[in-house]
């Protein structure tokens, strides 16, 4: 993949870890335990799995604090973070500007710097502003008046519709749509659905990532905002006028309905949903498939309608006993009725 | 956005509302309460929010009947409808035919009138019939033998596959797929899945809108039909041979399985689903995340399997008490058993 | 559709069915009961529906064993399979190589044989290997180093990202994304989400079909694998490092989270989901909307968290009685308390 190499001691220093064994070992790449060859560094995510180290052919390994090994290693508090940083270091490379491919179509009055790679079959509308080191893959379509920051990657087939604003280091994966019209209709006197104009935009702040085949609708007025560092997975729906807070994580196939606000660091599990016009406080966590039907300040939620996660776990585990419970209550009722009947008989 | 202006009295007459205050005030646009400037008209959706009117700098406001204001205003029964009509009036413009871009690819024997805008990198198959004032954005792909009505908008990346029929004023948003193959397989003697040919089509009737990244599968035989004025949100699945009734609303990430029929005005909430081969009667409403497992004539449904919405609300609110209920029943059982035991002792 | 014809007796022999009536009848196509004309063959899926045969104008009919009819017919054990094979026979045609359209963009060092149809506005990266009789529709984007087998169909707008491997007879429908980056982040010391590099690929084995607008993420290391003959519907999410077993069926809008393994012939209903890092055994069936929260060896599962389907059915049907149950238990408690109080009184 790469012809870069580092000494193990250099990598240890880079991630602030404790060097174990041969610091002069030369490392040429990162691989998982099974695929690693002698020039690779691999990793152990947590303790108690030291046995896995026996089989690997890796030349070195990142291990969590507390793990002993006779292999050359870097010992760190957070192996996942360390190996990610090391891996990124191996993969990082100078931006090579491919320029604008002759089969790309650039509209009028666009600002496109020299240091970009705009592939064949990209279409930019009019007055688009493109930042430095932006990469657009084939089939990307950017509407009029879009502003795109530096170091942005738009993958094949991504669509950024008119007027949207894309921050620095944003990634939009393939076939996602930023700035689709919001789903807003008003019924007229004949019961027909009249489309509300959506004149707002979408703002993706710095370091946002949007997965593949996801949608972020433009606002009716104003802006739908995905704040700094939020990461959105594939097939996610973000409706008009939603605000997704800094560092939120929205897992695949989750959805946020119109005008809802997610605070900082909110997490939505896969296929979770939040209803419209509510607010989730900072750090609220919503379990997979949960459906949040109202505003919530804090906590971990599950189920639909979503309730406290632990309560839900207990109630869910009781759920399968429900038929037996119905029977038990019926039996108790009968026994009690007999007892009362008998007593009445006694009294008479 | 626009250089059109209207007098407030003209707008009042246009929407059939009651003029309040200065009818000669000149209005140049529509904005929400916060963003509105002095030349804008804004709106108040319902009563009891008059305080919001204090802060706005709007020159006029649409208010619901029963709301008093010292501002210049239009008083109407349905403010959402009135402001939508006014907004559309400001935004509406003469269709400007861009013609067929030289980098569009038109197949053989197509009918394409002069009054269209077909962008770069659109591909039409053979024998496609395109109506008047149709707009196709970059990256749209239309298959052979497709028929497209007047005033249709196909947004960037939309795919209309062979043989489908698109009515007048239809909108298909970006990266949606109309006429994908239905998901139908038959197991052969070796247990392999053999694909059933799907030779049917999709019909989108007049005034249908399809959101972004949605799918409408073609029929096995015949047609999957989305009837007049139905509005479908993003990431929605409509399977083969489904019939979606007039004016239905299918919210984001909802799905309708094969051969199911939705009556007029059926509403599916976000992430709701309807199983295959069933029928929902006119006006049936299905709550968010609900799953309808059988045919239903009428009503409002929630939960999975979906039941009457109110029953579901009550049962859902009891759900979290389930563990306590199990305990209570156990305790009652014990008390009753002791009582019976004691009585037996007494008798002996 | 086709100018092929077969004698009814030829078709009977082809599917190994019993010929009934006029074997020399000439059949020119397949249609459903309602649309069939005199030269068509139609079908009855199961017994007990013989009345449907009265109205059809079809010249012949495929019926299940045990069904008597005075029409010309082929009697078979599995009518769905027989009619599918017959229909495929009518539709099958010699591959006509359109070659590489001049408006397609082919990268460096690609291997593209003569017998292919690569449409306008297809983009291949560098070093792509394309098999025989491959068909790529407009707007398909294939990344660097992708290997594509024989008889593959990539529909309009499908994206196959760098390094992925596509087997023989694979179909990827429109706007699906194969090889999107997995959703994997690690929090750094400042709480920012750092993206884990995803250097793995996706492997689609022979005879796999992927519906429209679906996503299969590339592996972090190694490969996300969809094994032979698995069929995936529209809007489905398959996360990084998942293994989908041979012949699995994943219905629309279902999702499989990271590193999970599905055995052979696993079936996921619509909108179902399986959590990350678990394994489902061969033949496990997961009902629509169910959420599997742990590993399962066998069985049919429903609900969330998913439990045995029959248990779930019983519990679900008791669910609506929950409010009444709460009331009953309260009443029983009161009655019992009174009884105990009374007894205490008696004793005193």
pLDDT in tens, A75-85: 999 999 999 99
Average pLDDT rounded to a whole number, residues B91-107: 94
User: pLDDT class for B348, splitting at 50, 70, 90?
Assistant: low
pLDDT in tens, B75-89: 999 999 999 999 999
Using a CB–CB cutoff of 8 Å, tell me whether B119 touches chain A: yes
Q: Which domains does chain A have, with CATH numbers?
A: 6-91 (3.40.1390.10), 101-310 (2.160.10.10)
State the DSSP string of B145-161: T-EE-TT-EE-TT-EE-
Using a CB–CB cutoff of 8 Å, tell me whether C138 touches chain B: yes
The answer to whether residue B344 scores a pLDDT higher than 90 is no
pLDDT in tens, B286-331: 999 999 999 999 999 999 999 999 999 999 999 999 999 999 999 9
The answer to whether residue C227 scores a pLDDT higher than 90 is yes
Chain A partners within 8 Å of C325 (Cβ): 325-326, 329
Minimal C-alpha gap between A260 and chain C (Å):
23
**Nearest CB to A209 within list C176, C195, C314:** C195
CB B178 within 8 A of CB B170: no
pLDDT in tens, C256-292: 999 999 999 999 999 999 999 999 999 999 999 999 9
**What is the maximum alpha-carbon separation in chain A?**
104
CB A233 within 8 A of CB A211: yes
Beta-carbon contacts of B103 under 8 Å, excluding residues fewer than 6 positions away, are A105, B120, B121
The answer to whether residue C1 scores a pLDDT higher than 50 is no
Using a CB–CB cutoff of 8 Å, tell me whether C108 touches chain A: no
The pTM of this model reads 0.96
- A157 and C139 in contact by Cβ < 8 A? yes
pLDDT in tens, C118-161: 999 999 999 999 999 999 999 999 999 999 999 999 999 999 99
Chain B partners within 8 Å of C335 (Cβ): none
Minimal C-alpha gap between A312 and chain B (Å):
7
Chain A partners within 8 Å of C336 (Cβ): 336
- C321 and A326 in contact by Cβ < 8 A? yes
Name which residue leads in pLDDT, C51 or C235. C235
Show which residues of C are catalytic: 240
- What mean pLDDT is reported for chain A? 95
- C196 and A32 in contact by Cβ < 8 A? no
Tokens 């239009």 correspond to: B74
Minimal C-alpha gap between B344 and chain A (Å):
12
Tokens 């963003």 correspond to: B35
CA angle A91, C162, C118 (to 5 degrees): 155
What residues are paired with A250 via a beta bridge?
A232, A268
The answer to whether residue A1 scores a pLDDT higher than 80 is no
The answer to whether residue B2 scores a pLDDT higher than 60 is no
Distance of CA A330 to the CA centre of its chain: 48
Instruction: Return the closest-CA partner of residue C252 out of A213, B237, A254, B241.
Output: B237
How many residue contacts between A and B have a Cβ separation below 8 Å? 191
Look at residue A89 in the predicted model and tell me its pLDDT.
Answer: 95
Q: In whole angstroms, what is the distance from residue A346 CA to residue A335 CA?
A: 16
DSSP C218: P
φ/ψ of residue B151, rounded to 5: 60, 30
pLDDT in tens, A241-250: 999 999 999 9
The answer to whether residue B345 scores a pLDDT higher than 80 is no
Of all residues in chain B, the one with the smallest CA distance to C320 is B315
Instruction: Return the closest-CA partner of residue B15 out of B87, B101, B71.
Output: B87
C-alpha dihedral (B269, B275, B281, B283), degrees to nearest 10: 0
pLDDT in tens, A155-197: 999 999 999 999 999 999 999 999 999 999 999 999 999 999 9
Q: In whole angstroms, what is the distance from residue A49 CA to residue A53 CA?
A: 8
Name which residue leads in pLDDT, A252 or C51. A252
Using a CB–CB cutoff of 8 Å, tell me whether B45 touches chain A: no
Look at residue C330 in the predicted model and tell me its pLDDT.
Answer: 93
**Nearest CB to C333 within list B188, B315, B328:** B328
Chain A partners within 8 Å of C335 (Cβ): 336, 340
Reply yes or no on whether A193 is catalytic.
no
Distance of CA A52 to the CA centre of its chain: 30
Q: Where are the alpha helices (DSSP H) in chain B?
A: 8-14, 52-55, 79-91, 309-319, 322-347
Bridging pattern class, strands C117-118 and A249-250: unpaired
Residues 172-201 of C with CB under 8 A from B: 173-175
Of residues B39, B87, B240, B309, which has the active-site annotation? B240
Look at residue C348 in the predicted model and tell me its pLDDT.
Answer: 54
Q: In whole angstroms, what is the distance from residue C330 CA to residue A333 CA?
A: 11
pLDDT in tens, A103-126: 999 999 999 999 999 999 999 999
CB A178 within 8 A of CB A158: yes
pLDDT in tens, B14-62: 999 999 999 999 999 999 999 999 999 999 988 888 888 888 999 999 9
CB C179 within 8 A of CB C225: no
Tokens of B244: 């979606």
User: pLDDT class for A3, splitting at 50, 70, 90?
Assistant: confident
Look at residue C347 in the predicted model and tell me its pLDDT.
Answer: 62
**Nearest CB to C235 within list B199, B235, B275:** B235
Chain B partners within 8 Å of C157 (Cβ): 139, 141, 157, 159, 175, 177
Minimal C-alpha gap between A109 and chain B (Å):
17
Using a CB–CB cutoff of 8 Å, tell me whether B122 touches chain C: no
Look at residue C183 in the predicted model and tell me its pLDDT.
Answer: 97
φ/ψ of residue C193, rounded to 5: -85, 115
Look at residue A348 in the predicted model and tell me its pLDDT.
Answer: 55
Q: In whole angstroms, what is the distance from residue B260 CA to residue B242 CA?
A: 5
Tokens 């939960």 correspond to: B303
Look at residue A347 in the predicted model and tell me its pLDDT.
Answer: 63
Minimal C-alpha gap between B169 and chain C (Å):
24
Look at residue B46 in the predicted model and tell me its pLDDT.
Answer: 84
- A252 and C253 in contact by Cβ < 8 A? no
Q: In whole angstroms, what is the distance from residue A182 CA to residue B187 CA?
A: 41
Q: In whole angstroms, what is the distance from residue A255 CA to residue A321 CA?
A: 32
Average pLDDT rounded to a whole number, residues C88-95: 92
Q: In whole angstroms, what is the distance from residue C340 CA to residue C219 CA?
A: 66
């Amino acid at each position: 993949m790469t012809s870069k190499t580092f000494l193990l001691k250099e990598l240890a220093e880079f991630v602030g870890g404790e060097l174990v064994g041969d610091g002069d070992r030369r490392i040429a790449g990162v691989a998982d335990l099974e695929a690693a060859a002698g020039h690779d560094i691999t990793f152990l995510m947590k303790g108690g799995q030291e046995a896995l180290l026996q089989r690997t052919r890796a030349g070195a390994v990142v291990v969590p604090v507390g793990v002993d090994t006779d292999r050359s290693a870097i010992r760190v508090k957070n192996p996942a973070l360390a190996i990610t940083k090391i891996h990124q270091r191996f993969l990082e490379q100078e931006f090579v500007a491919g320029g604008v491919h002759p089969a790309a179509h650039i509209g009028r009055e666009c600002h496109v710097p020299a240091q970009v790679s705009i592939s064949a079959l990209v279409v930019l509308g009019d007055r688009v502003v493109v930042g430095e080191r932006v990469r657009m893959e084939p089939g990307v379509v950017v509407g009029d008046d879009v502003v795109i920051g530096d170091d942005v990657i738009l993958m094949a087939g991504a669509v950024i519709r008119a007027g949207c604003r894309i921050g620095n280091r944003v990634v939009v994966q393939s076939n996602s749509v930023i700035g689709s019209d919001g789903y807003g209709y008003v019924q007229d006197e004949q019961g027909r659905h009249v489309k509300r104009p959506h004149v707002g935009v979408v703002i993706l702040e710095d370091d946002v990532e949007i997965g593949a085949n996801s949608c972020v609708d433009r606002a009716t007025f104003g802006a739908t905002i995905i704040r700094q560092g939020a990461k959105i997975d594939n097939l996610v729906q973000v409706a008009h006028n939603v605000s997704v807070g800094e560092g939120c994580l929205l897992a695949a196939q989750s959805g946020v309905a119109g005008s809802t606000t997610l605070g900082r660091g909110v997490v939505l599990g896969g296929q979770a949903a939040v209803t419209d016009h509510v607010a989730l406080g900072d750090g609220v966590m919503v379990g997979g498939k949960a459906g949040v039907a109202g505003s919530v300040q804090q906590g971990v939620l599950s189920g639909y309608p979503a309730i406290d996660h632990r309560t839900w776990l207990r109630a869910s585990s009781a759920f399968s006993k429900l038929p037996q419970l119905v029977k038990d209550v019926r039996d108790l009722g009968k026994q009690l009725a007999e007892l009362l009947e008998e007593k009445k008989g006694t009294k008479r």
